[in-house]
Chain A
């Protein structure tokens, strides 16, 4: 549980408005970011997140602490998004091997690189560029297919445990890793292209 989350839950149960405001400030932006990967547009995402907070207020007494507060919030969000008509099935095709199509044409017939990745090292050692990678990732998110975006957001951005991600998104462990693999590869490729290093 994040620092202070347990205390916030206890305070919220006791009717502490300040605790509610703190919880909203801490998690609302993350919930909204994830909601945008679940529903068709920002307006619906905002409604779903508002509805999530209503679920939190009503359900706080039933929260048993078996998951983290963060995961509990994301779970309510996913359920609310489904009720609001979120697409049940991801459109990303999971056919083919784990690589997807981002590296098409980069390997020869033997499977060795014919167009290998150019090093980022020089660029990344530049502190300004290194600091901007997070910003670049943020800018790339909207270009990911929705399943990849959902898994990448939960796993790498919000740091949610793989098993909990599978449970939240109702995907197998294997498919979750395929989506994560493709998402990271996709973002790596977009960043490389932006750096002129691909």
Chain B
């Protein structure tokens, strides 16, 4: 009987696909192979969870506060340009 089993991913390959997976750009075949690997591999599942946490938490990284004098300088610039 001709039956070609899909070659399973190894961990290194699985890790390499994770950003494409999270971006939703993996082919259906690769997505299924990755999900099958993740179902069996607690280490890769943990790694993916940590990567997802980094990506999700990054949106809460606040920039430094705006220095009041920087705002004042820019408003002066704006005022000058408006009056020209």
Contacts and interface: CB of A to CB of B under 8 A. Distances in A.
B54 interface: yes
Contact of B60 (A50, A54, A134, A141): A134
A98 B12 CA distance: 10
B64 A116 contact: no
B82 A15 contact: yes
A89 interface: no
A112 interface: yes
B16 A133 contact: no
A137 B64 contact: no
Secondary structure type dominating chain A contacts:
helix
A157 interface: yes
Q: Which range holds the interface residue count of chain B?
A: 35 or more
Interface string A45-69: 0100010011001100000000000
A152 B79 CA distance: 35
Nearest to B18: A181
Contacts of A20: 74-75, 78
Contacts of A54: 77, 81
Interface in A144-196: 152, 156-157, 159, 162, 173, 177-178, 180-181, 184-185, 187-188, 191-192
